[in-house]
Each structure stands twice: as C-alpha cells, then as structure tokens.
Amino acid sequence: MIKTGLQVLLRERRDLMSGRRVGLLTHSAAVQPDLTGTRDALLGAEVEATALIDLQEGDTAGALCAAQLAAVDLLVVDLQENGARCSTVGEALFGALQAAAGAGCPMIVLDRPNPSGGALVEGPVAEPGFVPCAGGAGLPMRHGLTLGEMAGYLNEECGLGATLTVIGMRGWRRAMYFDDAGLPWVPLEPGLRSLVAALLYPGTCLLDGTNLSAGAGSPFPFEVAGAPWLEGDRLAEVLNAQRLPGVRCEPLRFVPGAGRYAGEPCGGVRLRVAARGSLRPVAATLHLIAAARTQAPRRFEFLPGPADGRAPLFDRLAGTARLRQGLEAGLSAESLVQSWEVEVARFEARRKRYLLYS
C-alpha cells in the first residue's frame, strides 16, 4: 500500500506546520485509507486549520481571497484530481498557486495518485483562449501528472513564482492505477461514480459538447453515450470493427435521469474497459462521436457557443477547435488522433523535469 502526501506529512514532516497558522484547501474526495478526511486527519494530529476552503463541485480556488491568506502562515492543499485537463481541480490548483504567490504565502501540496496512472499521455494540447485558466494551456486532455507534479509544472511553466513544497507519495509508480494504491474511491463529483468512469472521463467529457447524452443520472455516467435517435447495435458494430485499443463497445438502451434527454429512452453504447494499460479514452470517444455523426448526420450536433462569444463547449473541452472542425470537414477520427502525436511528444519531453516518480 502506498502512502499519500498527507500520510507522509503527518508521519515524517509535521515540523513544516509547527508554530504556523495553517490554511487548508481540500474536498471530500481527499481521504485516508480509513476514509478520514484531511481536516479531521490534521485535527487528529493536533494541527488546526485557521482557514478552511472546502472545494465543492464546480468550484475553483477563486474562493481563496487575500483576507483568508492574510490570516495564515502556510497554505496546505490536498485534492484528489481525475487525470483530465478539464477538471476543476486543475483550475483550483492554478488559482491557489496564483493566490499564494500574490500573498507571499508558502504553499504545501500533498500528492495523491492520478486515477489514470502516470504513464500514458493523450489528446490535443490546449491552445490559449480555449481553457478557463492560463494553466490549462499547453496541457493535453490526459496529462499523466499527479497533483504534486502538476503544481510544479504550473508554477514554473506559467511563471507564478509561488513558494512551493510538494510532499510526495511513498511507493507510487507511474504504471500504477488508483486501485493499486489501496485507497477507497470517493466520487470526485456526481458524474464520476466509479474508477472506470474516471478512466474514461479524459475522453468522454467531450460528449458534453455534443447533443449526445453521457448518461447523466443513469447508473453509468461517462461510461455510456447515446441519444433517442441512435441505434446502439449498429454503433457498437462499427466501433468494435475498428478494434479501438483497450475498449469494447456494448450496445445499450438507457434512460438518462438528468440533463439531456432526461426520462427518454436512448440507444447507444457502453464503453467497457478491456485493457486499461492500452486504453486511449480520448481516441475512443472521438471515434464514437464520428460514428454517431455518420449514423445520424441530420440529428447529431455540436452544441453552439454561448452568447458571450466564447468558443463552443466542445472546443473548450478539447482545448482546440481543430477536432470539431476536422470532423465537420469530413476528416477521419484516426487522422485527427494522429494529428496530436507530435505535440504530445513535445509535452512529454517538457514534463520530464517535473516528474517525481519513475
């Protein structure tokens, strides 16, 4: 069993908090093996957080204000992220680094496993202007970084200048997945109920930018895709014929309990992870979207951009307009997958200096 950054802090580096007023940024998914949350673990070690920022779904570290940081000598961050660039945890981390740097407040990040492991990187690298915060630019959809590694990357690559200490894990390796760590899975948000959903989410998040349902309110959110006008048998047959790495598509009829098509029977597929070591969720989802569009060209839609002039949601999730525009122009999903290989290789070369684990 590995030891998280929180466990290492409490057992080996409690001196870092001695005599200091401690602020804490955390959420309910950051737990010990016995499900004890970070705040309770600190209290059990006789460390009281002077300021507590509890990150809820959809929040970012905009909740960090100058008054809160002025009341502490040290900001401790313990968050469980989901391995996808489009996570609010990444935005929160960037905001925390920015706020801590501006306030001159030292910051400790307690590391945790990346649910998708740390070996594989996938998806287009985000372009400036397509992501909610500057820290997302330059990151692929599946970045393969732990929270601590991402903190180092963002702090240096974005020139934030925070006084940063990362408390690394003990025993974690890049090839490990979340269940290799011996930690209980606590849903990061209502849509990520299972580890399988978290493995797929770096790709299936793209469904939110289309008029397909990702199964909101069903038993398998972000593991399924469908619509009332799709034929699941045909869709599964087309996708399985492409032999997508690490995944099989199972025809499925489901009824979303919320969101798009709530209460309406939908035809579609469920993505079954057959070999997570070879799984490419971004590529699989792109192939799925292309197949759905081919099956029902008059019904499938990418959602339009909002009235405030921002890019369409699909482009903001992808970090680029290139994927949507390519599909609309008739390019194959495989050609679009190949289009990001060079930029991913460049990112992998750049991220090496921030990696904490082999």
Quick check: 61 pLDDT over 70? no
Q: Is 107 helix (H, G, I), strand (E, B) or coil?
A: strand
Strand order in the sheet with 224-227: 224-227, 266-273, 247-254
CA distance 232 to 229: 10
pLDDT mean over 23-31? 94
- On average, the pLDDT of the chain sits at 94
Domain-by-domain residue ranges, the chain? 5-187, 195-338
The mean pLDDT value for 108-134 works out to 94
Per-residue pLDDT band for 59 (boundaries 50, 70, 90) equals low
Q: Note the pLDDT tens digit of each residue in 201-256.
A: 999 999 999 999 999 999 999 999 999 999 999 999 999 999 999 999 999 999 99
Cβ-count burial 172-191 (b if 16+ within 10 Å, e if not): beeebbbeebebebebbbeb
Query: What percentage of the chain reaches a pLDDT higher than 70?
Result: 97
Half-sphere exposure for 316 (CA within 13 Å, toward CB): 18
CATH topology of domain 195-338: Aspartate Aminotransferase, domain 1 (3.90.1150)
Q: Can you tell me the mean pLDDT for 36-49?
A: 93
Q: Which of 191, 180, 175, 24 is nearest to 109 (CA)?
A: 24
The two tokens of residue 137 are 């630019």
| Average pLDDT estimate for 288-316 | 96
pLDDT tens string 172-209: 999 999 999 889 999 887 789 899 999 999 999 999 99
- Sequence-ordered list of residues with C-beta below 8 angstroms from that of 236, at least 6 positions apart, any chain: 249, 250, 251, 269
The pLDDT, as a whole number, for residue 147 is 97
CATH 3.40.50.720, domain 5-187, yes or no: no
Separation CA 5–CA 258 (nearest Å): 36
**CB neighbours of 194 closer than 8 A, spacing ≥ 6?**
185, 220, 223
Report pLDDT for 64: 76
Whether 5-187 shares its CATH topology with 195-338 is answered: no
Q: What is the mean pLDDT of residues 273-301?
A: 97
pTM, full prediction: 0.95
Using N-to-C axis directions, what is the helix angle for 281-295 and 195-204, rounded to 10°?
60
